[in-house]
Structure 1
C-alpha cells in the first residue's frame, strides 16, 4: 500500500506585491504487516516575502536510517544549512553551515 499526500498553498495579497508560497509532499510506503520496515520521503518549502519566512526541509527514512536536509533564512539575512543523518548504530549527527546572501538594493 502506498499513500501519497500532496498539499499546495499559494496566497497573493491583493493591493500589494507580497506573495507567499508553501508546498509539501509526503510519500509513505507500507509493506506486509508481518514485516515492519518504515519507509517514507517528504519535503516542503515556505517562501513568504511579507513575513520574511523562508525555509525548506527534505527528509527520507528507509528502515532505521533517516537522512535529511533543511535550510532556514536567519533574521540577519544569512542562510542556515543543516544536513543530518541518524541510525541506530551511530545515533544522530548534524552538519550545520551558514552562508550569507547579499541583497542588492537600488535607490533612485
Structure 2
C-alpha cells in the first residue's frame, strides 16, 4: 500500500516538473491579433414619444352576420355574432360533406370563459359531384 502511495506522489511530482520545464523553455509565439480592440461609440437613438390610443372604448359593442349559399361549389354556411362589453355570443352553422348540418352556439364572458354547444341537425340532400370532361392534350 505504501508503494502505491509513494509511486503516485512521484508521478504527480514528475508531471508538475515537466510542466514547469516546458513553460520555462517556451518562447513567445507571434499572434496575428494586435491585442487592441477597436471600440466604437454606440449610436444614440432619438427619443420617440409613446403613442397613446385616444380612441379607447371602455364598453365596445358590435354585431355582424353573413350567409353563404354557393350552388356551384356546394358551400353553405352562416354566422352571426354580437359583443356587448366583455360578453360575446354568437352561432355558426355549415353543411358537412355527409349532408348533416352542424350548428355551434357559443358564449364567452370574463367569468365563465368560452362555452360552446355543438348540435347536429337533420340530413340535407348533398349534391353529387358533376363529372368533368377530360382535357384534351395539345401536341
Query: If the TM-score is normalised by the length of the shorter chain, which range does it land in?
Result: 0.5 to 0.7
Aligned pair partner of 1:77 in 65, 77, 99:
99
**Runs of 4+ residues deviating >4 angstroms:** none
Does 1:36 pair with 2:35? Answer: no
Q: What does 1:4-83 align with in structure 2 at a 5 Å threshold?
A: 36-83=58-105
5+ long unaligned stretches in structure 2: 1-54, 128-139
Q: Would you tell me which structure has more strand in proportion to its own residues?
A: 1
Q: Would you tell me which structure has more helix in proportion to its own residues?
A: 2
**TM-score normalised by structure 2 residue count:** 0.49
Cα distance between partner residues in 1 of 2:100 and 2:118: 13
CA RMSD of aligned residues (A): 2.3
Cα distance between partner residues in 2 of 1:92 and 1:69: 13
What is the SS of the residue equivalent to 1:75? coil
Q: Evaluate the alpha carbon distance shift between residue 80 and residue 104 of structure 1 in structure 2; reply closer, same or farther with a 3 A threshold.
A: closer
Aligned to 2:30: none
5+ long unaligned stretches in structure 1: 1-32
Cα distance between partner residues in 1 of 2:60 and 2:80: 17
Aligned residues: 74
What is the SS of the residue equivalent to 1:89? coil
The higher-RCO structure (CA 8 Å, 6+ apart) is: 1
Cα distance between partner residues in 2 of 1:49 and 1:34: 43
Cα distance between partner residues in 2 of 1:86 and 1:34: 21
**TM-score normalised by structure 1 residue count:** 0.62
